[in-house]
Each structure stands twice: as structure tokens, then as C-alpha cells.
Amino acid sequence: MRPEALEQALASPIIAAQAVVIYSVIGGYLAPSLSRIVKICQRADVPLIIDGAHAHYLDSLHSLPDVDIAYSFYATKILPAGEGGLIVSSSAARVAWLRRFAIYDRFENALRVGLNLRAGELTGAFMHRLMTDRSLLAHFRTARVEIAERYRALCQAHQLRYLDPHAAADYNGYKLVVLSPRGEVQRLGTALTEHAPTSAVFATDVLGKPTLLPHWCPPTYPSLAPSHVG
């Protein structure tokens, strides 16, 4: 998202009065431009919702004021709990509104809208521990970042094109985005192609157009010991 384009769009009082801005953190890279986007939304009094499916353990994100964050705990995400999600908001009014979509018991929460979106007790316990137990940080973030750093060094050594996590405001190692064609990289015989790639993070254009940024991602699974990425 280009802050300039957003600022221009929200300069219209008609658009601003009806707008909600959705921002996605892609591949665990937190763009430096997000802080400016937050300020633009604040000035225009427009809600900002952050898709945090790839954003677990990004402390810089949590420090931003007046943003709502939706996390995913699907099995393929940074913090897997099998299923479920978590919404974080600084607005008591929005939290109260969201509670209409979840029911805890028959006395306090009347389910007036939609389906019951409340996570089960076991899933909820998993999510709570994953988000609050800092001892898990070394496994779910530090290990991924270390593997991504080794991939990054290989990209630099072979002059490959990649999305540099060092240019991000924060990074959790979920994906290391390589822009050089995988076929070309495979001929180098490095650890970048030792394992099958993970799913691309923005491989489909929502308008059905060709992908603007073809790429692929070597795995940064915590189970991959640093010795496997040398």
C-alpha cells in the first residue's frame, strides 16, 4: 500500500466518511511505511484493520496506537493452534460489538449476529500460551529469523534478487521472498533449493491479472536446524 495514494483517497470527505482501511502484513515483513499509514488514518478518522495472519511476534506492530489486528492460528501460520483466530483492539466499543459474534454461555452473550465464532477451550488455551509465553519466542521467531539470515547470505553471495528483511521495520522470519527464478537458483546447488519451497505469499492477483511480483519462498521452518542452511 502506497501512503501517498491512501492520503489522496482519504482527502475526499465523502470517501473518508465511508472508508475502512485494511492493511496486510505479508510474509512477516513489517513495512516501514506502516507508521505513516497509521497517522494518515488517524488524521482522517478512518478505522485501520491489520491482517496479522503473518504478523505474530512483531513487537513494533503492537506499539502502534489505535489499530485493530486480526491474527490467524491456522496450522500453516507462525503460531499454529490448528484453527482459530484472535482480534486485538484498543476500542472497548469495538470489542463489545465483536462479542455479538461469539457466545460463551446462555446468560451473558446473546448470539444475535452470524455464527458462533468463539474458539473451543483447548484451542483457546493453545492460542493464549502461544501469545503470552515468551519462552516460545526462540522456537517460533528466533529460529526462523536465523534460517532466513542464512538464506539472505546465500542470496547476497550469488547476487540473487530477494526481498531484504533488513529493510523492514520488523521481521519474524515467516517467509524469505526470493525474486530470482527458482530454476536459475536451483542450478547453483545451494541450501536455498535443498527443500521444496513453501507457498508464495502473493501469488494471485485479486483482479485476475498476471502476478506483478513473481517469487518463491524457501522454507524457514523452526525444525530446520541452522546446519541445514549453510
Contacts of residue 85, defined as CB under 8 A and 6 or more positions apart, other chains included, come to 70, 71, 72, 73, 119
Please give the pLDDT value at position 108. 58
In angstroms, how far is CA 208 from the centroid of its own chain?
A: 23
CATH number of the structural domain 3-132: 3.40.640.10
59 band by pLDDT with thresholds 50, 70 and 90: confident
> What percent of the chain lies above the pLDDT cut of 90?
52
What are the grid coordinates assigned to 91, written together? 476500542
Nearest to 61 by CA among 220, 216, 169, 185: 169
Distance between CA atoms of residues 230 and 19, nearest Å = 47
What DSSP assignment string belongs to 149-204? Answer: HHHHHHHHHTT--B--GGGSSEE-SS---B-S-HHHHHTTT-GGGSS--B--SS-S
Distance between CA atoms of residues 170 and 168, nearest Å = 5
Q: What is the pLDDT of residues 193-221, one digit of tens each?
A: 999 999 888 766 667 777 778 899 999 99
Please give the pLDDT value at position 117. 65
Residue 227 clears pLDDT 60, i.e. is over it? no
Contacts of residue 92, defined as CB under 8 A and 6 or more positions apart, other chains included, come to none
7 band by pLDDT with thresholds 50, 70 and 90: very high
* Domain locations along the chain: 3-132, 137-228
Nearest to 66 by CA among 85, 86, 92: 92
Q: Which residue has cell 483457546?
A: 124
pTM: 0.84
Where is pLDDT greater, at 29 or 89? 29
Please give the pLDDT value at position 119. 72
Task: Find the angle CA(153)-CA(193)-CA(142) to the nearest 5 degrees.
Answer: 50
69, 61 contact by CB (below 8 A): yes
Q: What is the pLDDT of residues 121-159, one digit of tens each?
A: 788 888 888 888 989 888 889 999 999 999 999 999 999
Please give the pLDDT value at position 90. 82
Task: Find the angle CA(26)-CA(28)-CA(30) to the nearest 5 degrees.
Answer: 80
What are the grid coordinates assigned to 114, written together? 452470524
